Structure 1
Amino acid sequence: MKDLSKVEKINKVIEEYLNANSSLTIVPVKELMPAFIKAGIFVKDIKKGLPIRLILRELDASNQLDLIPRVHAERHGEHTYWYFVPASATVPETPYKQEKKKLENDAIAIRLNSDETYVISLCDEVLSLKANRQKRFDFLLGDLHKNGKTQTMLPVDAYYEELQLVIEYKEIQNYRPLAVVDKDEDEEENENTKTLSREEQRRIYDERRAKVLPENEISMIVISYSDFEYDDKNKIKRNKESDLKIVQKALKDFR
């Protein structure tokens, strides 16, 4: 690309947009067209983002796409879909749907946008390593299944093999008061028998991780939503600069 003056302006607009919308983990390039126009980079939008796509195609053809660090190209045969991904988010491993979906009905989007994903991404950045997310160990098992024979391997939020370190992120549900739930009378020979609530089962498995992992020479660090500034829904407000400092302090013995 001969004229790189627009690239600097484009990068500035992208960073400003992503910083102002820190909850986003991926953004179709067309969404930034109003910001690009306001910054004077383009005069008007054409075909929902064509001006920025033309620049990205030109950079791609000349192997200069790295000049825009936040860009992510999703290639499908002859077609390429363009997105911007913030530094705090992981590049999606599964195709991002072009059509707009309701977040509550999109499990992948919910996962990518979760506080857990955000915090583990910060841990990756602090440690300069990439976590093995939802790692399972054959020595870390849940309770026996109803058949009395099999057990499920319990996942951990993040595992860093190089450091023999597990990081668990705890949301508000990990701290809710325990409750006991009655089973239906026709399911029990003794109507006074109780079953564990979801909260109590979660608590038991959290304690099991804390006990079993060190027994297998793996350290475990717990990072809680309450370590950060959070809103009235107990969601992290996501100020990356201050959040990084919190994570750095939590991981000071492993940096």
Structure 2
Amino acid sequence: MKDLSKVEKINNVIEEYFKGNVSLTIAPVKDLMPAFIKAGIFAKDVKKGLPIRLILRELDAENQLALIPFVYAERHGNHTYWYFVPANVVTPDVPYKQEIKKTKNDPIAIRLNSDETYVIGLCDQVLSLKANRQKRFDFLLGDLHKNGKKQTKLPVDAYYEELQLVVEYKEIQNFRPRANFNQEEEEENTKAISREEQRRIYDERRAKVLPENDISLVVISYSDFDYDEQNKIIRNEDSDLKIVQKALKRFC
């Protein structure tokens, strides 16, 4: 980022905001726009927080997000939801709960209540770090698209940069075909193979390519936990934490 003059002011405003709202553990960045405007950082708000989001995107692209230590980026594919959290506070497992009213059939709500989100949240607790979720690497690519030119970067469930560690959570659909297989990944495949086979290939690729780039990989499966007839984890945080601690013992 060429102009860092606003960063210190932004940090000061965020710190003061949470001092005045001690009950908050997370806030969408748009909620702080009035305070940023009052501090003279921005002249006005545009599209519910776009000015601050543009700065965060630029810092993110240049790997400088650490300049604003309050930032939490919740990544979903190619889209990022931006939040601020107080200093020295563990990010909640469900960061959207203060912003979005969720309904039973809301896909965002379903994902946030998923076993993957739950397990990665436990990993965050065990490691005392916040995962970069759905992280994509330049060296981890899917098959060539049908045009024979483009390859999509494959996401990982959780990346801990400080430990050079990736954690992948395997739900039941990782072991059998599923109806809503990612269309983008399907279009990459130039061979007439099943979706189940494509997932297996990509899992093997992650297992091979990540260590080749000095990144450790830990795979945690739904079957490591107690689970019900729908293959969903029967959640008991105390015992589940012990399972995750065992899986991550090399990194604790």
Q: In terms of Rg, which structure is larger?
A: 1
Aligned mate of 1:96, from 72, 93, 100: 100
Asked if the contact 2:133–2:159 (Cα under 8 Å) also holds between the matched residues in 1, the reply is yes
**Alpha-carbon distance, 1:168 to partner:** 0.2
Name the structure 2 match of 1:130: 130
Q: Does 1:248 align with 2:245?
A: yes
- Measure the CA separation in 1 of the matches of 2:18 and 2:124: 31
**Alpha-carbon distance, 1:111 to partner:** 1.4
Matched pairs, number: 168
Name the structure 2 match of 1:231: 228
Name the structure 1 match of 2:214: 217
1:107-126 correspondence to structure 2 within 5 Å? 107-126=107-126
1:1-255 correspondence to structure 2 within 5 Å? 65-66=21-22, 75=31, 89-92=93-96, 95-97=99-101, 101=103, 103-104=104-105, 106-176=106-176, 195-255=192-252
In structure 2, the CA distance between the partners of 1:63 and 1:221, relative to structure 1 (3 Å rule), is closer
Asked if the contact 1:88–1:122 (Cα under 8 Å) also holds between the matched residues in 2, the reply is no
**Alpha-carbon distance, 1:148 to partner:** 0.4
Match for 2:226: what amino acid?
A: E
Matched residue of 2:230: which SS? coil
**Alpha-carbon distance, 1:90 to partner:** 3.5
Match for 2:158: what amino acid?
A: A
Matched residue of 1:154: which SS? strand
- Measure the CA separation in 1 of the matches of 2:126 and 2:222: 18
Match for 2:145: what amino acid?
A: H
Q: Name the Cα RMSD after superposition.
A: 3.0
Question: Percent sequence identity over matched residues?
Answer: 70
Matched residue of 2:100: which SS? coil
- Measure the CA separation in 1 of the matches of 2:115 and 2:197: 22
TM normalised by structure 2 equals 0.59
- Measure the CA separation in 1 of the matches of 2:239 and 2:91: 15
Asked if the contact 2:164–2:214 (Cα under 8 Å) also holds between the matched residues in 1, the reply is yes
Asked if the contact 2:157–2:168 (Cα under 8 Å) also holds between the matched residues in 1, the reply is yes
- Measure the CA separation in 1 of the matches of 2:217 and 2:127: 15
TM normalised by structure 1 equals 0.59
Matched residue of 1:237: which SS? coil
Name the structure 2 match of 1:20: none
Asked if the contact 2:176–2:196 (Cα under 8 Å) also holds between the matched residues in 1, the reply is yes
Structure 2: any 5+ residue segments left out of the alignment? 1-16, 35-89, 179-190
In structure 2, the CA distance between the partners of 1:143 and 1:241, relative to structure 1 (3 Å rule), is same
Match for 2:249: what amino acid?
A: K
Match for 1:252: what amino acid?
A: K
